[in-house]
């Protein structure tokens, strides 16, 4: 079976983002079981149909990355009980057909969702909204397990680094489940 490629999409552009740190912890945990690319998309413009075709270079780059992935792992912050605007903007771009002949790149892709927030919900509310959106776009969502990490500050050290003291086993469980989920889909397609 071909080597799995996972693309991680972090819904925060903040340099020290806890969700970005969570994605990096997941990358380390996955190790050599899959290629793991953290998608950089700070340079994509706001969706504007006036500039949609031909797509800006930054949009082409993220589309190619997503197209080549066997699975997409979202790491979402929670903004006002929703996921972030930058993530919605990215998904809006990805939701559009590439051309008359090429469909959008998200359909059928296995998707996992994790998130960490300082609040009590642990991004659960944001994740529910994200599930609604990506299901509409025909992604193949792994609904269980999802990972919601509340009270983030209890797992952040004095330098702002994520320690994942209590949540590490749950991240491990989700990583293993997602690899299995992707492998089953790849097997079904072969
Ligand atoms: C506009 C805005 C709205 C927010 N709303 C919530 C919220 O609804 N629930 C919550 O737990 N945290 C909320 N927060 C705090 C974020 O969860 C916190 O800043 C978190 O660290 C962001 O994720 P990141 O570290 O990956 O950037 C909000 C932050 C911003 C900027």
Q: Which domain holds residue 57?
A: 5-189
Confidence of residue 189 (pLDDT cuts 50, 70, 90): confident
Query: Can you give the CATH number for the domain in which 75 is found?
Result: 3.40.50.360
What pLDDT is stored for residue 130 in this prediction?
Answer: 98
Ligand 1 atom, smallest distance to 14 CA: 27
Reported as a pLDDT band with limits 50, 70 and 90, residue 62 is very high
**122: Cβ contacts below 8 Å, ≥ 6 apart:** 115, 116, 148, 149, 150, 151
Q: What is the pLDDT of residues 108-154, one digit of tens each?
A: 999 999 999 999 999 999 999 999 999 999 999 999 999 999 999 99
**CA distance linking residue 6 with residue 98, whole number of Å:** 21
Ligand 1 mean position to 173 CA, how many Å? 25
Question: For the segment 7-54, what is each residue's pLDDT rounded down to a tens digit?
Answer: 999 999 999 999 999 999 999 999 999 999 999 999 999 999 999 999
What are the beta bridge partners of residue 163? none
Q: Residue 177: which of 150, 148, 153, 142 has the closest Cα? A: 142
Tell me how far CA of residue 123 lies from CA of 50, 76, 81, 129, 179, in angstroms.
34, 7, 7, 10, 22
Tokens of 189: 């397609």
Alpha-carbon span 139 to 173, nearest angstrom: 21
**Residue with the two structure tokens 């983030």:** 152
User: Does the pLDDT value for residue 2 go beyond 90?
Assistant: no
pLDDT mean over 59-83 = 98
DSSP H/E element including 10: strand 5-10
Q: What is the pLDDT of residue 83?
A: 98
Q: What separation in Å is there between the alpha carbon of 73 and the centre of ligand 1?
A: 19
Strand ranges, E, within 11-66: 35-38
Percent of all residues in the chain with a pLDDT value above 90, rounded to a whole number: 96
At residue 165, the pLDDT reads 87
Query: Count of domains in the chain?
Result: 1
Per-residue pLDDT, 184: 95
Does the model's pTM come out above 0.95? yes
Task: Tally the residues of the chain.
Answer: 190
Distances (CA, A) of 121 to 58, 139, 152, 185: 33, 24, 10, 31
Give the atom of ligand 1 at the shortest distance from the alpha carbon of 121.
Answer: 11
Read off the pLDDT of each residue in 96-106 and give the average, rounded to a whole number: 95
**Residue 119 CA: which ligand 1 atom is closest?**
11
| pLDDT (mean) for 53-69 | 97
Q: What residue ranges line ligand 1, CB within 6 angstroms?
A: 12, 14, 17-19, 77-81, 117-119, 121
Atom 10 of ligand 1 has which residue's CA nearest to it? 119
| pLDDT at 169 > cutoff 80 | yes
Per-residue pLDDT at 11:
98
């Amino acid at each position: 079976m071909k080597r799995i490629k996972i693309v991680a999409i972090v819904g925060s552009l903040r340099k020290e983002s806890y969700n970005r740190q969570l994605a990096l912890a997941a990358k380390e945990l996955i190790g050599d079981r899959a290629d793991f690319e953290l998608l950089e998309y700070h340079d994509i413009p706001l969706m504007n149909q006036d500039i949609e075709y031909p797509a800006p270079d930054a949009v082409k780059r993220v589309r190619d990355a997503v197209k080549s992935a066997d699975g997409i792992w979202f790491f979402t912050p929670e903004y006002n009980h929703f996921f972030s605007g930058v993530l919605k903007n990215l998904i809006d771009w990805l939701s559009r057909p590439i051309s008359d002949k090429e469909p959008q790149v998200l359909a059928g892709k296995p998707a996992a969702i994790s998130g960490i927030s300082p609040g009590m919900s642990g991004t659960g509310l944001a994740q529910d909204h994200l599930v609604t959106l990506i299901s509409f776009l025909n992604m193949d969502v792994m609904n269980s397990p999802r990972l919601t990490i509340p009270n983030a500050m209890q797992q952040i050290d004095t330098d702002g680094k994520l320690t994942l003291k209590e949540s590490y086993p749950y991240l491990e469980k989700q990583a293993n489940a997602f690899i299995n989920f992707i492998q089953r889909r790849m097997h079904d397609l072969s």
